[in-house]
Amino acid sequence: MPSTSEPDHVILTLPASKTDPFRKGVTIYIAAAPNSPSTCPVSALLHLFTIDPRPLNSPLFITSDLSPLTRPRFITRLRLALLDAGLQPQGYSGHSFRRGTASAAAAAGFLDHEIQQLGRWHSDTYRLYIDTPKDRILNLSSRLHMADPHTPPFEPPILPFVPPLA
């Protein structure tokens, strides 16, 4: 359990998730962002529980009738918020957050296995979510123009035959 006076992370427990086929529950650890207080998820949750005190095991998001926020209701609220922000909601869904996280992690230089851990992926599916910025593709293309096509491809050295151990 993180400290409530100066927490460096929060622990969220989901009773079920798409990445939890046996419905055992999923634990998600979210670190604080002390250098970015306006976007720090830990600070935001502390503020939420300050203005709306509830038991730590209660649902994080509830509706006006105090029932847990469902995925369909969340998507509806997300689309309304996007419209309010002047954005077209057709290109957004619940997966937009997973896609955004995978793309941000890749852009920050996270290794493939770290992106998989962060998103709780057990396959290479996360690669479908990574958006590569146009400037990155152009940079790769320009580097290709600098490659020397006359350089022979790398070949690993031939190792002497070693008989197998009996």
| Shared domain check, 141 and 77 | yes
Dmax over CA atoms of the chain, in Å, equals 74
| Shared domain check, 82 and 64 | no
- How far is residue 145's CA from residue 150's CA, in Å, rounded to a whole number? 13
Q: Alpha-carbon dihedral of residues 151, 139, 100, 105, nearest 10 degrees?
A: 60
Provide the pairing of β-strand 9-14 with 26-31.
Answer: antiparallel
Asked if residue 157 belongs to a domain, the reply is: no
Of 17, 36, 69, the position where a domain reaches its end is: 69
Distance linking the first and last C-alpha atoms of the chain: 53
Asked if residue 86 belongs to a domain, the reply is: yes
The pLDDT score that the predictor gives to residue 64 is 86
Q: What is the pLDDT of residues 24-65, one digit of tens each?
A: 888 888 999 988 888 899 999 888 888 988 887 788 888 888
Domain that holds residue 6: 1-69
| Shared domain check, 74 and 126 | yes
The total number of structural domains in the chain stands at 2
Query: What amino acid is encoded at 65 in this protein?
Result: D
The pLDDT score that the predictor gives to residue 148 is 72
The pLDDT score that the predictor gives to residue 162 is 60
Asked if residue 47 belongs to a domain, the reply is: yes
For residue 146, name the pLDDT band (cuts at 50, 70, 90). confident
Measure Cα distances from 99 to 48, 75, 121, 139 in Å. 26, 15, 12, 23
The pLDDT score that the predictor gives to residue 163 is 64
Average pLDDT of the segment spanning 96-120: 87
- How far is residue 25's CA from residue 19's CA, in Å, rounded to a whole number? 10
pLDDT at 1 over 60: no
The pLDDT score that the predictor gives to residue 166 is 56
